[in-house]
Chains A and B, each alone.
Chain A
């Protein structure tokens, strides 16, 4: 079984500050990990994915995430927040041969203060 826990349902940072969204996973097989972003009344857009290659993954819009097996974590970061980053962020996990399902975390709402 797989699960994802996102620490903090709501994160608020100032424009230009560091963004850190936390994600911890549990998986009985080597995981594949994803971060998605959702803007109001829209579907999900893929930010980045970890698929057992490089542990530091760079995504779109200046986001990156680091896979740390020892900590079972896949935290999302961005050095300098922009007002347009305000959205809901979801961490998700899948894994195992033929495993098609994505298991999502609870989501973290990111607010950017001017």
Chain B
């Protein structure tokens, strides 16, 4: 149980285009989803916390107009990288908590398999 699906797994696009990444909880509902960015051979950096039905909470230094997050349902959050440039190339990973677990910090986050974004 607790499967998180991310799509696409790999995307290559030209500089200046916008790219949408989907994060779905397949067998559970998630009030809260998280978006991370991971550079090669580095740890995960939290970009934002996505809350169903409300605005996302962005970490310091993350451009909210650059990385648009929408969490319209209890099973889907999307991250759109707008006007992508080569420096946005990275591995993006989402995670989700089972609904009801969000107030319990001892419950684990469930991670998707990530999306590798390459901007030419």
Tell me the A residues contacting B by CB distance below 8 Å. Answer: 32, 34, 36, 41-46, 49, 51-52, 90, 94-102, 104-107, 109
Contact = CB atoms under 8 A, between A and B. Distances in A.
Interface of A is mostly: loop
Contact of B105 (A45, A100, A104, A107): A100
Contacts of B93: 43-44
Nearest to B112: A43
A94 B102 CA distance: 12
Contact of B97 (A51, A100, A105, A106): A100
B102 A51 contact: no
A79 B103 CA distance: 35
Contact of B106 (A44, A51, A104, A105): A51
Contacts of B60: none
Interface string B30-71: 001010000001111010010000000000000000000000
A49 B43 contact: no
A100 B108 contact: no
B113 interface: yes
Nearest to B116: A41
Contacts of A36: 111
B111 A43 contact: yes
Contacts of A107: 41-43
8 contacts: A34-B108, A41-B116, A49-B106, A51-B106, A52-B106, A94-B105, A100-B32, A104-B44
B103 A98 contact: yes
A101 B46 CA distance: 8
B117 interface: no
Contact of B113 (A42, A51, A99): A42
B4 A43 contact: yes
Interface in B53-111: 91, 93, 95, 97, 102-103, 105-106, 108-111
A47 to B, nearest CB: 10
A105 to B, nearest CB: 7
Contacts of B114: 41-43
A101 B106 CA distance: 11
B25 interface: no
B37 to A, nearest CB: 12
